[in-house]
Structure 1
């Protein structure tokens, strides 16, 4: 078959590479890059690349199914337009459309190049035709594109798993964490990505972040499938718990910055026999604060773990074992007292918990008092020759049965154990109403001292860097403080990146993402949805918008807003941490994001909004026709500049 539109030989012979993973584009050998914005053209290229060729009749029927005899004509026009646009011949002539020999396509690259692409541009950079969707009515072509995207994701998943198998323990940790996050994003219900991310975080020394990844996995499987993590994942979780417990006693106190006021509040409250509650979201430095005070005063520090919520009395049992071992290490210990305590332990062990099918119902006032007295007896085994305090960290992870005993003991501690004070730290979570009930009871009695660690200020950080002899450019430090919202755990990571790489490129790291998402993951699924909508809407977000899009009443939206406030996701003005807004936005799948931008734009049109807002959201929804209309309107306004509300722009909630 002859070519209906002959081209010059220099056009035919020019080499070019086609990118179909991510944003579709054509790059010629002279460096010229042309975006491929026509979904039909991009899909045709993908078909030819993946199938090795496609008959012209099939291509015409796929892309113009209702056109009948004019479909072939439409195809010829399209092919001629492609040739004219790119100034080269992409396809061979003939009844079967094939790629010209001088054309290369990224789909044919080796697996190692795909993995490298993940590191360079993330998972969205390897989604087939990421920003393009075929017009409605092209049912068969749309089905092919969806299936092809699935095949690309499967190949990418296999490539990543093979990378982890080859790398083993010797792999680069930063790369391992980034690629594990890609695996999770590709299939949130597959445990392989979670397992690899947990391993990498442990190897980096961040066991807390590794445990948070397990919680992400457990929550995802429970909410989506109603199942639990596999034995392999659970065993990995247990190994991390054991290693963290072993390392806690030898861990050096973390460097504290801008915590003089909080330390004074805690020590002063203890001297006045107040019960201290340290409250704050993940990353605010509660654990470091408690460890520091405990080390300075010679008190007992105890951290509850995620595993302690697995069965009734798990927290009580593990804490009792720890205290008995401390008592045994004392040269003046009484073997008879230890024997009594160990017999009591048998009542709290895993086998005893299995025998009691509903331990909470069996906790009568009398049995609770008996357990409280046994706990006091065990604590007395380690009592020094002075008053001291027990500092309990991560109280929100305590099982309900142990929490009930602890609450009774703390409430009556003034009478039962006047020689012991308590400092408790917890993360506000929707499911821990018993913890909040304890706080309310202590507040009503006048014995509560609430301490909320403050966000770090730029002045404190500059002072710390000067003391450490690690000067950094002031604008860079200020930007790190702004992005982190003054959250110590995130801010220190950003400062380290500034020191190591001279900037904040590549932030946030996978570990930071995990820590930030802990805040969101502690909320209900409805509250998560509100937060994701806020990240998409940006500065355009409002309670009315959330109510219109979600179908919730304004009262319910306000309730979920308050839940997000408690979890440290929101503050009074917007996202509490600007970096968190970015992480939440990027956690929304791209196709869902496009749909949400369209929903936001539709609501804004009904209620009135600036042309810049509407142009931005319609553009992000891939509705270029509507976006162009508002951009023309915006261009006609004197002195106007396009508005692009979105993640990181300081959205205002109201």
Structure 2
């Protein structure tokens, strides 16, 4: 049997590392890095690395199945050209293709190294030959590559789960959150990643973000499998709710920045007997604002939780328990008052929920609620501030709506301030707002985004030495969203830069906004993140098949959720998070769809080169890049 010609003498034997996970590349020990752009070469390297030596005849048949006797020649030319390009001996000589002994490959690394790679690249960055696809007609090789990618994802999943099992409680929280997100990215229908992320967020003290992760899990399972989270995940969720409820009333009021206008609006509206509605998307500081006002005025603040939407009258039942504690704490409180409160609690028991559904029963509950609030209020006019009203169960909301709308007549000594997220408001809550607006009693307060000037003033008061440029970047990236901006400023303080953001906690908080929208609106947002500055209503209509009117409707939905503004994404970090939430394979396909539409609409070569490259269509990308190099920046026709 004849052997292929030996490797030319000018190709040296030197050590190098092959990266096949993510963007394929060859990195020599002298620092030289060369991308591997030929899908045949990259796939052959993966085959030999994962399965060992391969006969040359077998390789030739795999990659040139229709070439007959020319297949072996094609293989020889390809291997020779590749090694000349890298100036490196990659393969041994002989009838069996094997990697040269001085070549190291990332797919052969031990599991713990792969886990650590997830911290820097993320799970999406560890997809086998992520941006390469084999030419059409190589059916057997394509099937092998698909199976190998699946096996690598399974290996990564097993490795990550094993890491969490070994880590136990002595775990670095930042690492745990990053690896849990990687696990979710690999398998969004497995609950282990969600569970570990919830645990890490709770350990960090961010219960709200942990609850948002549960909602992500629940929504994913419902939409794709039609099932609910397992008993383990549900119990973890309940534990978080219990711990959040226990600490809720003792929570310290955080420092307020640039909220003088909103505080003035609320206090003036209360003095004029108007009902205040504070609305805004997650992270805008509604809770801090309400707690501050309640503390300054000595009023009652109550925050509704996810747990309160679980059964009829759950919200009313829990706030009544709290009012009873206030009653017991008041010296000289008559026993009959406590007895009335106990009877009210009995009415709210789930066993009586059907009996209490009639209008007459609602009236009875209303009168009892008024009595309890009056007993527990201070010796003056007061206000009740209810936070996260969008989580209230419908039955409690009916009673609360009657309290609010009739408070001028029934409770002249009590005013109301209600806060909620617009996109999570159900029909009953929207009806309440409409009724208040029609009566002229509604005062709408929308917390404003923080400005560079107000943040800089706060930092100066604290004696901070952060560079003004970092502060400006943090405000721009976050759009002035307080919850996100404070995290960015902390990152600047800790490491002197914004490297490593968004953190998993920020990502979870921002995805709450997208998660409150319909699946169609989510799709429009994800398309916009891929299209970037090229996005338009016309493009969305062409790609999704929706009418321009329907796309505009979804845009408005995203605007209400705080995902979009009038021009596109509300702020850059939100666009980044939405883009990264799109699985890499889907993202690649979407870039191709965007590029095809842009070609029809006449986009610039720079736009088209970018999108075709991100779609892994290197030939089309190269064509537009040549036009740019030649100085032709005119739109494609």
Specify the TM-score bucket, using the shorter chain as the normaliser: over 0.9
Partner of 1:461: 455
Give matches, 1:327-366, under 5 Å.
327-353=327-353, 356=354, 363-366=357-360
**Matching of residue 480 in structure 1 with residue 483 in structure 2:** no
Counterpart CA distance in 2 for 1:68 and 1:134 is 19
Does the 8 Å CA contact 1:458/1:478 hold for their aligned counterparts? yes
Counterpart CA distance in 2 for 1:167 and 1:10 is 49
Equivalent of residue 613 in structure 1, options 607, 614, 637? 607
Does the 8 Å CA contact 2:423/2:517 hold for their aligned counterparts? yes
Partner of 2:230: 230
**Matching of residue 387 in structure 1 with residue 390 in structure 2:** no
User: What SS class does the counterpart of residue 401 from structure 1 fall into?
Assistant: helix
Partner of 1:649: none
Does the 8 Å CA contact 1:24/1:129 hold for their aligned counterparts? yes
Partner of 2:404: 410
Does the 8 Å CA contact 1:523/1:564 hold for their aligned counterparts? yes
Displacement after TM superposition at 1:508 (Å): 0.5
Displacement after TM superposition at 1:349 (Å): 2.7
Counterpart CA distance in 1 for 2:222 and 2:326 is 38
Partner of 2:291: 291
Counterpart CA distance in 2 for 1:413 and 1:461 is 39
Equivalent of residue 446 in structure 1, options 414, 436, 440? 440
Partner of 2:582: 588
Partner of 1:579: 573
1:558-586 C-alpha deviation (Å, 9 max, x unpaired) = 11111001000001121112100011011
**Matching of residue 201 in structure 1 with residue 219 in structure 2:** no
Does the 8 Å CA contact 1:612/1:642 hold for their aligned counterparts? no
Partner of 2:365: 371
Does the 8 Å CA contact 2:605/2:634 hold for their aligned counterparts? no
Equivalent of residue 527 in structure 1, options 499, 521, 527? 521
Counterpart CA distance in 1 for 2:16 and 2:421 is 55
Give matches, 1:415-564, under 5 Å.
415-429=409-423, 432-564=426-558
Counterpart CA distance in 1 for 2:219 and 2:165 is 26
Partner of 2:618: 624
Displacement after TM superposition at 1:55 (Å): 2.5
Q: 1:61 to 1:260 in 2, by over 3 A?
A: same
**Matching of residue 604 in structure 1 with residue 598 in structure 2:** yes
1:325-362 C-alpha deviation (Å, 9 max, x unpaired) = 22222222222222232233233234445xx4xx8xx7
Counterpart CA distance in 2 for 1:350 and 1:59 is 69
Counterpart CA distance in 2 for 1:488 and 1:641 is 42
Counterpart CA distance in 1 for 2:442 and 2:312 is 27
Counterpart CA distance in 1 for 2:345 and 2:476 is 49
Partner of 1:651: none
User: What SS class does the counterpart of residue 429 from structure 1 fall into?
Assistant: helix
TM-score normalized by the length of structure 2: 0.97
Partner of 2:145: 145
Counterpart CA distance in 2 for 1:187 and 1:350 is 38
Of the structure 1 ranges 332-341 and 172-181, higher mean CA displacement relative to structure 2 is found in 332-341
Partner of 1:316: 316
Counterpart CA distance in 2 for 1:458 and 1:364 is 53
**Matching of residue 565 in structure 1 with residue 540 in structure 2:** no
Counterpart CA distance in 2 for 1:197 and 1:598 is 33
1:481-511 C-alpha deviation (Å, 9 max, x unpaired) = 0000000000000001011100000110000
Does the 8 Å CA contact 1:324/1:381 hold for their aligned counterparts? no
User: What SS class does the counterpart of residue 340 from structure 1 fall into?
Assistant: helix
TM-score normalized by the length of structure 1: 0.94
Counterpart CA distance in 2 for 1:607 and 1:45 is 40
Give matches, 1:27-106, under 5 Å.
27-106=27-106
Counterpart CA distance in 1 for 2:65 and 2:328 is 82
User: What SS class does the counterpart of residue 277 from structure 1 fall into?
Assistant: strand
Does the 8 Å CA contact 2:124/2:182 hold for their aligned counterparts? no
Counterpart CA distance in 1 for 2:42 and 2:623 is 25
1:424-481 C-alpha deviation (Å, 9 max, x unpaired) = 0001115523222211110110100000000000000000000011121011100100
Q: 1:387 to 1:17 in 2, by over 3 A?
A: same
Counterpart CA distance in 2 for 1:302 and 1:391 is 6
Of the structure 1 ranges 400-409 and 566-575, higher mean CA displacement relative to structure 2 is found in 400-409
Of the structure 1 ranges 344-353 and 467-476, higher mean CA displacement relative to structure 2 is found in 344-353
Of the structure 1 ranges 455-464 and 78-87, higher mean CA displacement relative to structure 2 is found in 78-87
**Matching of residue 261 in structure 1 with residue 261 in structure 2:** yes
Counterpart CA distance in 2 for 1:636 and 1:103 is 39
User: What SS class does the counterpart of residue 389 from structure 1 fall into?
Assistant: strand
Displacement after TM superposition at 1:85 (Å): 1.8
Partner of 1:650: none
Structure 1, unaligned stretches of length 5 or more? 644-654
User: What SS class does the counterpart of residue 18 from structure 1 fall into?
Assistant: strand
Counterpart CA distance in 2 for 1:38 and 1:642 is 29
User: What SS class does the counterpart of residue 169 from structure 1 fall into?
Assistant: coil
Does the 8 Å CA contact 1:485/1:577 hold for their aligned counterparts? yes
Structure 2, unaligned stretches of length 5 or more? none
Does the 8 Å CA contact 1:634/1:641 hold for their aligned counterparts? no
Give matches, 1:244-259, under 5 Å.
244-259=244-259
Partner of 1:170: 170
1:224-250 C-alpha deviation (Å, 9 max, x unpaired) = 111111111111111111111111222
Counterpart CA distance in 2 for 1:535 and 1:86 is 36
CA RMSD in angstroms comes to 1.8
1:29-79 C-alpha deviation (Å, 9 max, x unpaired) = 222211111011111111111112223232222212222232222222222
Counterpart CA distance in 2 for 1:270 and 1:226 is 46
Displacement after TM superposition at 1:2 (Å): 5.7
Partner of 1:635: 629
> How many residues are aligned here?
636
User: What SS class does the counterpart of residue 170 from structure 1 fall into?
Assistant: coil
Does the 8 Å CA contact 1:333/1:381 hold for their aligned counterparts? no
Counterpart CA distance in 2 for 1:71 and 1:608 is 41
Give matches, 1:118-197, under 5 Å.
118-197=118-197
Does the 8 Å CA contact 1:314/1:399 hold for their aligned counterparts? yes
User: What SS class does the counterpart of residue 133 from structure 2 fall into?
Assistant: coil
Counterpart CA distance in 2 for 1:283 and 1:6 is 64
User: What SS class does the counterpart of residue 450 from structure 1 fall into?
Assistant: strand
Displacement after TM superposition at 1:251 (Å): 1.5
